[in-house]
Amino acid sequence: MKKTLLFILLFICCLSLSAQSFKIISYNILEGMKMDTSQKKQKFVEWLKHQNPDILAIQEANKFTEQSLSELAKSYGHPYAVLVKESGYPTALTSKYPIENIEKVNEGITHGFIAAQIKGINIVVLHLNPHDYQRRRNEIKQITDKISKKFDKKNLLVMGDFNSFTPLEKEVFDNGVVLSNIKKAQQRSNGRHNNLINGEELDFEVQQHLLDYDLVDVLKELEKKDPKNAYNIIPQTYRIDYIYCSKDMIKKVKSGLFIRDYFTKKYSDHLPIAIEIKL
């Protein structure tokens, strides 16, 4: 009898472990979460505690140091943290679990990117150049070259602010509003911005490169599977924040969406993306 009970308990434990879910959030927090002026970013911390992600990928971790990021991460339950650099608009990664096999890449990359592993998941956190489409193209090729050497496109998540558009949503731009706005921004920049091909066309090459590289746009795939829930997954306007994954990983994705709530409406000019995967 005792052996039977022990077997049942072990079986239940195995089922529980096999169904373990991971919540991952990618968030451009706007210049170090500057809109949260509370002491030690407590509003941001409270929001993160409520969301309870296992992994947080950050873009625009401005003014953070390795130490201050580590202290902030510990306050919302992440004892592990990595910052790509301590200047400019750095990317960062925090986690409940050890962050291993870490590479910080800044050479040739405007804001830097992090490549690392957490619980067997291969992760890249990026923030591509916001002002020059040619630089974005070069950066994404450099990143996929690193992926090929480091991860071989297995158990892979690539996330962050891509500052570019997906060719899978070209219809969003048919009204010409985004094109017109980018043209005006380029004129105001006095030649500092180069976001249009020949000054006239939107560039979809960055995202096309990822699709040709056999990565999957996670939210787009979820939208296709659940068209009735499409608005809740992807905004109907254009987006520049994405989570891509390898084809083996998409099978493990349980859910995903842009988080729209009281906090995200106020504290950044980007919406965070949350996905849940089953390990």
Give the model confidence (pLDDT) of 62-106 as tens digits. Answer: 999 999 999 999 999 999 999 999 999 999 999 999 999 999 999
Residue 182 lies in a domain: no
Residue 79's domain comprises 22-163+206-278
More confident residue, 54 or 236: 54
* Residues across the chain: 279
Residue 180 lies in a domain: no
More confident residue, 55 or 3: 55
Q: What is the pLDDT of residue 84?
A: 98
Query: How many other CB atoms sit within 10 Å of the CB of residue 17?
Result: 9
Q: Is 30 left (phi over 0), alpha (psi -120 to 50) or beta?
A: left
Q: What is the pLDDT of residue 19?
A: 58
Maximum alpha-carbon separation in the chain: 81
Residue 10 lies in a domain: no
CA–CA–CA angle 137, 139, 145 (5° rounding): 105
Residue 133 lies in a domain: yes
| β-bridge mates for residue 161, sequence order | 127, 241
Q: Which strands, in side-by-side order, build the sheet including 92-95?
A: 80-83, 92-95, 55-59, 21-28, 273-278, 253-258
Q: What is the pTM of this model?
A: 0.92
d(CA 81, CA 127): 17
Give residue 187's pLDDT band: very low, low, confident or very high (50, 70, 90): very high
Which among 111, 105, 159 is positioned nearest to 136, based on CA atoms? 111
Supply the CATH number for residue 95's domain: 3.60.10.10
Number of domains in the chain: 1
CA-to-CA dists, residue 245 to 14, 161, 275, angstroms: 26, 15, 11
DSSP designation for 165? -
Residue 189 lies in a domain: no
- The average pLDDT across 40-55 equals 98
Residue 84 lies in a domain: yes
Residue 92 lies in a domain: yes
Residue 12 lies in a domain: no
| β-bridge mates for residue 124, sequence order | 115, 158
Mean pLDDT of the chain: 93
